[in-house]
Amino acid sequence: MRIVVIGGTGFIGGQVVEQLRAAGHDPVIAAPSTGVDTVTGAGLAEAMAGADAVVDVSNSPTMDPEGVMAFFSGSARTIAEAEAAAGVRHHVLLSIVGIDLVPNSAYYRAKVAQEEAARSGEVPVTILRSTQFATFGRQIADWSTVDGRASATHDLVQPVAPSEVAAEIVRLVVESAPAGIVEIAGPDQLHLDELVRATLALLGDDREVDTVDSSPLMGTEGAPEGALTPNPESGHPLTIGRVTWREAVAEAAQHAAS
């Protein structure tokens, strides 16, 4: 299959491209570095030519509330128009578990808009909502550190290995008919502040981590407990990964050191 990977040079996109190639498929990397702009549409028609499916794992280049909304909603509409014109048969979009339960997060609101724009197009869509990546603890620590101290909320999370997210995307685009919303999560639940502390300890990082009630990085104040974990009552098909967050963090650290 010829599969366009929007964001194919990114953290998840690179793994999707690698796994598609290993399985004998023809991934087409669509990213700014390959001359594709999903907001303006520049280069999209050329990338879509002859494609069977599209995977969108792109991320916003800005976290500014207006900018992130403009990117996700604008690019989703542009992609939907381009893939319909090219005769693409299936669109797989990577999203986040709980985005419709966290209205105080500008990033999550933008992802909701992205989902809506993708589903409004002519091409059938599968949306894979993932829980936070197992490597998220290190990111939170780096983003939040002030004067040598990190901070994190006490939100319940169920971190998943990025490699398993990439594998599920590949399975959905290659093996599956369009399936609406599906979810993936890791095997373990813990609180975000606990994840950050344990991740830093595992990496030999001695930064202290303060527990805070709210954070602009999460925007989860007012959200129900467990909003960031799969809801059994949602009716969405759920895949539970086998790789623990500890194993995923150790793997990422080893890869970074090699």
Where along the chain do its domains lie? 2-257
The pLDDT value given to residue 250: 87
pLDDT at 257: 65
Residues 71 and 73: their CA atoms lie apart, in Å, by 6
Average pLDDT on 87-114 reads 95
Q: What is the mean pLDDT of residues 45-70?
A: 95
Written in H, E and C, the secondary structure of the chain is: CEEEEECCCCHHHHHHHHHHHHCCCEEEEECHHHCCCCCCCCCHHHHHCCCCEEEECCCCCCCCHHHHHHHHHHHHHHHHHHHHHHCCCEEEEEEECCHHHCCCCHHHHHHHHHHHHHHCCCCCEEEEEECCECCHHHHHHHHHCECCEEEECCCEECCECHHHHHHHHHHHHHHCCCCEEEEEECCCCEEHHHHHHHHHHHCCCCCEEEECCCCCCCCCCCCCCCCCCCCHHHCCCEEECCCCHHHHHHHHHHHHHC
Model confidence at 58, pLDDT cuts 50, 70, 90, reads: very high
Q: What is the pLDDT of residue 214?
A: 87
Residue 258 has pLDDT above 70, yes or no: no
pLDDT score recorded for residue 252: 80
pTM exceeds cut of 0.85? yes
Dump pLDDT digits (tens) for 199-230: 999 999 999 999 999 887 788 888 888 999 99
- Report the percentage of the chain scoring pLDDT > 90: 86
Q: Considering the chain, what is the average pLDDT of its residues?
A: 94
Superfamily of the domain at 2-257: NAD(P)-binding Rossmann-like Domain (3.40.50.720)
pLDDT of residue 256: 67
What is the mean pLDDT of the segment spanning 107-126?
A: 96
Q: Residue 131 pLDDT > 70, yes or no?
A: yes
